[in-house]
Amino acid sequence: MSRICVHGLGHVGLPTAALLALAGHPVTGRDIAPDLVARVNAGASGFAEPGLDALLARVIGSGALRASTQAVPADVHIIAVPTPLDAARRQADLSAVWQVAAAILPLLRGDELVVLESTVPVGTTEALAARLPAGVAVAHVPERVLPGRALTELVQNDRVVGGVDAAAAGRAAALYRAFVRGQLVETDARTAELVKLAENAHRDVNIAFANEIAAICARVGVDARRAIALANRHPRVEILSPGAGVGGHCIPVDPWFLAQAAPDDAVLIRAARAVNDAVPQRVVARVRAACARYAAPRVACLGLAYKPDVEDVRESPAVAVVQALLADGFPVSVSDPFVSEVPNGAVLRDAAEAIAAADVVAVLVPHTAFRALDARLFRGKAVVDPVGLLAGG
Ligand SMILES: NC(=O)c1ccc[n+]([C@@H]2O[C@H](COP(=O)([O-])OP(=O)(O)OC[C@H]3O[C@@H](n4cnc5c(N)ncnc54)[C@H](O)[C@@H]3O)[C@@H](O)[C@H]2O)c1
């Protein structure tokens, strides 16, 4: 058994730490947030991830996992800290990764394994290794879990295991074999970094294509969803669904990490970012046009999260739409069964009440709960529905 220290107890680090503890390793989860550390030690994750609180109660209860604000000496360090976008430079902000490197440096003997799970630009894992003593094995094992299915996907997904050298990849693969039932495919660190970024850039480019088709359809008077459904009858065509924009902290962010390596070559990737970033403003323009038909229009926005059936509002295009409508001076009600805080000035309401009190309804997120809404509620309302909820999309 290896003593493991997991740095960053968020959506990635906490379930990983818990699964390693369940597999029998003594695990310390370290986070800089003292309230989070106290909560985890009390057996609660603090976010909605099915099965995670039960797993935590078990591994905290058995003593296999404990949380701390302090880094501890360990055989394996796993780094799962945030790597946000520095929006001004459109480059990765790696400060949390370097903070962890500095925190563990005095603890290292020189024969440990250090695994970087955070999403990073190509070359970061090698740069991390250069900051650590020779002899420390360093690998990048990127994460591809879907929030809400983390415990299932952590176990079942295939993982790319990129070592700074082959020995590091081998050691990291042996570690993850403790709980991963998917394939662990060993490669070098740069390839693993690029693969992770390419996955999310691929999603972004394909969503941009769907959004661009929807914009063209609107200009020429064609029903975009119908057109896409018909195009997808071609055996080799699979156009995604258009929406209100692209949100979350991965898909709108990671393409920039890829582009920063070679901006001149990342033409399509940067264009896709521009296309998707422009979508919320198109939605706002449609709502404004609908509002123009009323003397004192009241607006209801359905959905605030960045995608269906999650509570996460990070980079959410729905938030951008609501903020723009508030800035226009419209009274805006927001309904989202997963969200308890709305932008300043908006009022959080039950969906049926919000619709009933509105002249214009903007459907921004197709939460499953909204599908059960009685279609009669929308009668007589001006409905802007970029996500196709009412069309069954
Ligand atoms: N959430 C996902 O679905 C997902 C999927 C794939 C990849 N990723 C990547 O995984 C990484 C972590 O993402 P997340 O969603 O778990 O983030 P998160 O925000 O949920 O959690 C990160 C945690 O790290 C802690 N932290 C910040 N700085 C720290 C430091 N210096 N030392 C120790 N702890 C620190 C924070 O307090 C927080 O609890 C990011 O690079 C992200 O891009 C996330």
Tens digit of each residue's pLDDT (9 = 90 or more) over 111-162: 999 999 999 999 999 999 999 999 999 999 999 998 889 999 999 999 999 9
Alpha carbon of residue 149 to chain centroid:
12
pLDDT classification of 328: cutoffs 50, 70, 90: very high
> Of these residues, 5, 196, 291, 301, which one is catalytic?
196
Give the predicted TM-score (pTM) of the model. 0.94
3-state helix, strand, coil in the chain (%, to 5): 40, 15, 45
pLDDT digits (tens, 9 = 90+) for 216-226: 999 999 999 99
Report CA 140 to chain centroid distance, whole Å.
Answer: 19
Domain 4-182: which CATH number of 1.10.10.10, 3.20.20.70, 3.40.50.720, 3.10.129.10: 3.40.50.720
pLDDT of residue 148: 85
In the predicted structure, residue 46 carries a pLDDT above the cut 90: no
Domain boundaries, the chain: 4-182, 244-384
- For residues 327 and 76, give the distance between their C-alpha atoms in angstroms, rounded to a whole number: 50
Kind and range of the H or E run holding 201? helix 189-220
Specify the DSSP element, H or E, that contains 333.
strand 332-335
Task: Give φ, ψ of 121 to 5 degrees.
Answer: -65, 160
**Helix pair angle (95-104, 124-131), 10° resolution:** 30
Distance CA 317, CA 348 (A): 17
- Whether residue 392 has pLDDT greater than 80: no
96 lines ligand 1 (CB under 6 A): yes
| Phi/psi at 309 (5° precision) | 65, 30
Is residue 382 a contact partner of residue 359, using CB atoms and an 8 Å limit? yes
Expressed in angstroms and rounded, the spacing between residue 256 Cα and the centre of ligand 1 is 18
Q: How many residues does the chain have?
A: 393
Is 196 catalytic? The answer is yes
Q: Across residues 67-87, what is the average pLDDT? A: 97
Q: Which residue has the higher pLDDT, 205 or 49?
A: 205
Task: Burial-class residue 63 by CB neighbours within 10 Å (0-12, 13-18, 19+).
Answer: exposed
Radius of gyration of the chain (CA): 23
At 221-245, the pLDDT tens digits run 999 999 999 999 999 999 999 999 9
Q: How far apart are CA 318 and CA 322, in angstroms?
A: 6
Is residue 5 predicted with pLDDT exceeding 70? yes
The answer, yes or no, to whether residue 256 has pLDDT greater than 60, is yes
CA dihedral 203, 318, 143, 120 (to 10 degrees): 80
Indicate if ligand 1 lies below 6 Å from the C-beta of 118. yes
Sign of torsion over alpha carbons 186, 191, 196, 198: negative
Q: What percent of the chain has pLDDT over 90?
A: 94
Percent of the chain past pLDDT 70, that is, above it, reads 99
Alpha-carbon span 338 to 316, nearest angstrom: 13
Angle between helices 13-22 and 52-61 (to 10 degrees): 50
Residue 78 pairs with which residues in a beta bridge? Answer: 6, 115
List residues bridging with 384 in a β-sheet: 362
Residue in 36, 97, 99, 143 to alter for ligand 1 test, most ligand atoms within 8 A of Cβ? 143
Average pLDDT score, the chain: 96
- List Cα–Cα distances, 286 to 249, 366, 367, in angstroms: 26, 18, 21
Domain 244-384: CATH superfamily, name plus number: NAD(P)-binding Rossmann-like Domain (3.40.50.720)
Q: What is the pLDDT of residue 393?
A: 57
250 catalytic? Reply is: yes
pLDDT at 48: 81
Instruction: Provide mean pLDDT across the span 46-51.
Output: 87
Q: How confident is the model at residue 391 (pLDDT cuts 50, 70, 90)?
A: confident
Same fold, 4-182 and 244-384: yes
Nearest to 81 by CA among 97, 70, 62, 95: 97
Nearest CA to ligand 1 atom 30: 96
Which protein residue's CA is at the shortest distance from atom 11 of ligand 1? 118
What is the Cα–Cα distance from 379 to 337, expressed in whole angstroms? 22
